[in-house]
């Protein structure tokens, strides 16, 4: 930005923060029950809600959240944090944007803002405002997030880390630097406190990537790197430890495939791991083009990854469906009787 006029224009555009949905304040059980008597996506969601509650009630089943897309920026950020807080998930596989550009970004005190999908993007670029459909992000604040990642990496041993290990170090940094953390109860912070591992298979594809490139450029002879193969091995260890698994897929992409592939990986390692027993997916992608995000859970059965008894596709936009799904599960209370699995400790042995 070059002028005071630009600064005022930017301030005017970034004036209405996105408010994140609170599942504890909205009891959707009656709504979901009514949906079960309807058809189309309403009944699909009701059945998906039943499957999620079965995951939580099954004492022999671990629950994995597979998270893609931009719902964290759109108002679902606290939902995923509360899934950890209230023991509704045991491990998370996500895109880097969901964890770094959205969760860690807001933990540093920055916000996402309501915007206009028809805005002039050339004007937004001039003002250093990034757009995700109708959501705005201050690029200068995002670069602050990038450089904070560099700062954390600069303090760590120069060796390969899995993304899970590095995100754990981020959680530790947050606890050790409380004055730098402006928003408590972030996904990373709660996962650190409750031993819920977070895996980001494509870790460089987000703010973390920029920060780690800056870190390596500053330390060309001894630097930290990310070992995605260790992520794959560690998530497979969780599968082998848990036996039965249930998965909540928000979107598709790399997290979906990564989560599905641990069944095959366990087999390659000589372990007879059962397919994911319970699965539900929320997506707007189309299956007909052969792409991963829209491929049905039944299709994944042909690969030996997903069981057919408890699976449900919900073809709907996730910022609408996810709050209803998780609020129903929260108020149903099945999570209260679950034991915490503390998988981070398993991986640190």
Joined tokens for residue 70? 């931009």
Phi-psi category of residue 326: left, alpha or beta, with phi > 0 → left and psi -120 to 50 → alpha: alpha
How far, in Å, are 98, 214, 225, 253 from residue 297 at the CA level?
Answer: 23, 39, 34, 13
Joined tokens for residue 89? 């998930």
CA 151, CA 165: separation in Å to the nearest integer? 16
CA 347, CA 165: separation in Å to the nearest integer? 9
CA 301-305-306 angle, to 5 degrees, is: 60
Provide Rg for the chain, Cα atoms: 20
Which candidate in 33, 182, 305, 345 is catalytic? 305
User: Bridge-partner residues for 67, per DSSP?
Assistant: 94, 250
H or E element at residue 199: strand 198-199
Joined tokens for residue 336? 């209260």
Structure-token match 């599942």, residue found:
23
Task: Tell which residue, 257, 252, 255, 321, has the closest CA to residue 285.
Answer: 252
User: Bridge-partner residues for 249, per DSSP?
Assistant: 66, 281
Active site residue 182: no
DSSP string, 92-132: EEE-HIIIIIIIIHHHTT---EE--TTS-HHHHHHTTEEEE
CA 201, CA 328: separation in Å to the nearest integer? 30
Q: Crossing angle for the helix pair 40-57 and 318-332, nearest 10 degrees?
A: 40
CA 300, CA 308: separation in Å to the nearest integer? 9
Name the residues annotated as catalytic. 305
């Amino acid at each position: 930005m070059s002028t005071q006029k630009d600064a005022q224009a930017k301030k005017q555009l970034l004036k209405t923060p996105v408010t994140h949905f609170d599942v504890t304040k909205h009891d959707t059980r009656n709504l979901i029950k009514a949906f079960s008597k309807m058809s189309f996506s309403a009944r699909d969601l009701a059945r998906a809600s039943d499957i999620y509650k079965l995951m939580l009630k099954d004492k022999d089943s671990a629950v994995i959240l597979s998270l893609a897309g931009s719902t964290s920026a759109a108002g679902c950020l606290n939902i995923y944090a509360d899934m950890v807080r209230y023991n509704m998930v045991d491990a998370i596989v996500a895109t880097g944007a969901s964890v770094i550009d959205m969760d860690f970004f807001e933990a540093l005190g920055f916000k996402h803002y309501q915007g206009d999908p028809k805005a002039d993007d050339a004007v937004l670029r001039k003002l250093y405002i990034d757009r995700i459909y109708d959501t705005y992000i201050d690029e200068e604040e995002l670069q602050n997030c990038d450089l904070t990642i560099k700062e954390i990496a600069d303090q760590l041993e120069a060796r390969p880390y899995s993304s899970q290990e590095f995100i754990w170090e981020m959680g530790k940094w947050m606890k050790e630097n409380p004055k730098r953390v402006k928003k408590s109860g972030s996904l990373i912070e709660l996962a650190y406190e409750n031993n819920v591992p977070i895996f980001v298979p494509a870790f460089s594809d987000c703010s973390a990537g920029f920060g780690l490139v800056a870190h390596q450029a500053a330390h060309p002879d001894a630097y930290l790197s990310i070992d995605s193969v260790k992520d794959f091995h560690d998530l497979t260890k969780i599968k082998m430890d848990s036996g039965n698994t249930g998965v909540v897929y928000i979107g598709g992409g790399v997290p979906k495939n990564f989560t599905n592939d641990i069944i095959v990986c366990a087999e390659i390692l000589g372990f007879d791991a059962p397919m994911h027993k319970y699965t539900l997916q929320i997506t707007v992608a189309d299956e007909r083009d052969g792409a991963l995000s829209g491929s049905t859970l039944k299709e994944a059965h042909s690969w030996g990854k997903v069981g057919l008894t408890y699976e449900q596709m919900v073809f709907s936009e996730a910022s609408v469906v996810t709050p209803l799904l998780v609020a129903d599960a929260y108020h149903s209370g099945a999570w209260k009787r679950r034991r915490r699995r503390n998988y981070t400790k398993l991986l640190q042995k």
